[in-house]
Amino acid sequence: MNSKRKYFGTDGIRGQVGEGVITPEFMMKLGWAAGRVLAKQGKGPVLIGKDTRISGYMFESALEAGLSAAGVDIRLLGPMPTPGIAFLTHNTRAQAGIVISASHNPFYDNGVKFFAGDGTKLPDDVEMDIELELDKPLQPVHSRHLGKARRMTDAPRRYIEFCKSKISPDIDLSNFRIVIDCAHGATYHIAPKVFEELGADVITHAIQPDGLNINDQCGATRPHILQKMVRESGADAGIALDGDGDRIIMVDNKGEIVDGDEILYIIAAARVALLNGAVVGTVMSNLGLEHAIRELDLDFIRAQVGDRYIMEILQRDNLRLGGETSGHIINLDMTTTGDGILSGLQILETMAKTGKTLHELKAGMKKFPQKMINIRIQETVDLSKLDCLADAVKAAETELGEYGRILLRPSGTEPLIRVMVEGEDEKQVEMIVRSLANEVENVIQNTS
């Protein structure tokens, strides 16, 4: 990320509503600034979609006003999953798409991210141009050139049909019972229909958004109720999406969690010949995933945490599949961003083709015991300059041997140092992670 940025982070602009720049005034200015930049690049409307949090109404209106003031036409999509907005941006030949969402965060947070006309994240240089415009006074175009806005009422149906088109036409899901948890978020009116129209027996959870309950004890970050529902209903699988629908966590037929690493493995194993030789994960991906991918005769490449960095490697190396443990799965030969619904469809398609249960499919990957301790810090610490810490890590790596891994990294979103250890022996992993965490705490105290 460019250190000169004032507003844009690795995934747009996000924060608590009413604080910092997450205000109606800033959003109107942001709409105007983005409109000014986009107007120089060509003609065409800008799409605005949102998740279900209550502040989305406020920010939708503010962005609409700003874009109109810049002379840009607007198409309002209403509640739509992030990947649906990416798809429609490209499908309708729009100039750009704007997503109003804070993903898996609680309702009192919100944010904005942009898609370019091809449905991918807006390039860094365009984001920088928008930031430059933000420093200028807002000056509307002449009234005859103001942008017009209208609702795109068929947006959900277009995206539903797109999702359905990505599963083999000869696949029948009528033998599957699935439970879908939509996190009271943007997929509440879409995900159940996709799976129902493909024949599945669908049981729903968290599909009644009220503006305040998005991600509240439900969805991809809180799948405990989904686990119970799968067990009690005898379902073949459970699907938990997050508030904006770009990540997925699943539950197998025994009620056990199937995380993003395991989902990535199952998809990779089913599509080996189509993956151009490699799969992309992150530095947090389980070591068991790396070993399982290599057993498929594929390379495993680790990116920094964040789907933005996975995408950079996929595009750079002409690869097609990558993902995070949290459930962001990117299939570039199907769509342009992480898509929870499409990832769930691929898993069900694999179950249908192989005749295996989800529990059996995930068994192909042996997860290594992984422990992480978060250490709160008061100020930024450059871990690379702490030689005594490097010595402790090296000694621990020697103790773990070939089948172990250690990761020390600062959090990108919180004042934390994350200490993560993986290995074959759970007790050894537990002992080493606690020892290293104590070492990190001591070093930080002595240097502060």
Active site residues: 103
Structure token pair of residue 135: 């420093």
Structure token pair of residue 433: 């992670």
Amino acid at 419: V
| First-last CA distance in the chain | 27
- Residue 240, phi then psi, degrees to nearest 5: -115, 120
- CA–chain centroid gap for 254, Å, is 26
Give the integer Cα–Cα distance in Å for 361 and 269: 9
Asked if 303 contacts 310 with a C-beta cutoff of 8 angstroms, the reply is yes
Asked if 394 contacts 375 with a C-beta cutoff of 8 angstroms, the reply is no
Count how many residues are written for the chain: 448
Give the integer Cα–Cα distance in Å for 334 and 320: 9
Give me the half-sphere count of Cα atoms (radius 13 Å) on the Cβ side of residue 396.
27
DSSP 368: P
The DSSP H or E segment spanning 440 is helix 426-447
Give the integer Cα–Cα distance in Å for 245 and 338: 9
Asked if 50 contacts 213 with a C-beta cutoff of 8 angstroms, the reply is no
Best CA proximity match to 321, nearest among 365, 272, 248, 262? 272
DSSP 402: T
Structure token pair of residue 182: 């939509």
